[in-house]
Amino acid sequence: MAKLIYSAITSLDGYVEDKQGKFDWGTPDDEVFAFVNDLERPIGTHLYGRRMYETMVFWETVSTGSDQPAVTRDYTEIWRAAEKIVYSRTLQTPSSERTRIERDFDPAAIRRLKESSARDITVAGAELAGEAMAAGLVDECHLLLVPIIVGGGKRALPDDVRVQLELLAERRFRSGVVHLHYGLRGF
């Protein structure tokens, strides 16, 4: 049985993008990037909201030449090898290999996917992850808290969802980023 995991890089006040739609303030340095690579390495399938997919598909075509930093080459290989399911009512065709589009987020289908998958699954894009959390599908959450307050934007965590969390691990990085790993223990 695979776990469904939500991971996000968020400002201290809980936003994945600011009011201008920017998240450059969350760009990981090499230490955080290497940590993220190790989180993503075991993942078999990514569930993406369309907006998150449009950001992430950059990795499909980025150069993997020796001019690129080792951490980004590593991430590129990990990302390209994973399966992707994109949730969208507007996207016509995927722009990456191993990718299919779903028109509806069906909790029963995700439960079946978890039961049949040998490797863990992530859900990303705060909107889609919020739907998964509200449906009780998310088992774990990784938050990378960036030491910045951005004052508004797109919230990392959904409104109107109440869940008890268990802290499973934490780590601090030289940049001041803090990683918090939680298990979701029920409503």
Ligand X SMILES: NC(=O)c1ccc[n+]([C@@H]2O[C@H](COP(=O)([O-])OP(=O)(O)OC[C@H]3O[C@@H](n4cnc5c(N)ncnc54)[C@H](OP(=O)(O)O)[C@@H]3O)[C@@H](O)[C@H]2O)c1
Interacting residue with ligand X among 4, 8, 57, 141 (CB under 6 A): 8
Q: Which of 68, 72, 88, 96 binds ligand X (CB under 6 A)?
A: 88
Encoded tokens for 97: 């290999």
The answer to whether the beta carbons of residues 98 and 84 sit under 8 Å apart is yes
Q: Which is nearer to ligand X, 75 or 87 (CB)?
A: 87
Asked if 79 is part of the footprint of ligand X (rule: CB under 6 A), the reply reads no
Using the rule CB under 6 A, give the single segment among 16-24, 64-72, 107-115, 169-177 that binds ligand X: 16-24
Among 27, 55, 61, 175, binds ligand X (CB under 6 A): 55
Compute the distance between CA of residue 33 and CA of residue 28 in angstroms, rounded to an integer: 5
CB of 3 or CB of 50, closer to ligand X: 50
Nearer to ligand X, 24 or 67 (CB): 24
Which residue number, 43 or 125, has a Cβ lying nearer to ligand X? 125
Encode 55-84: b = buried (16+ Cβ within 10 Å), e = exposed.
ebbebbeeeeeeeeeebbbbbbebbbebbb
Binding of residue 127 to ligand X (CB under 6 A): yes
Show the tokens assigned to 93: 């065709």
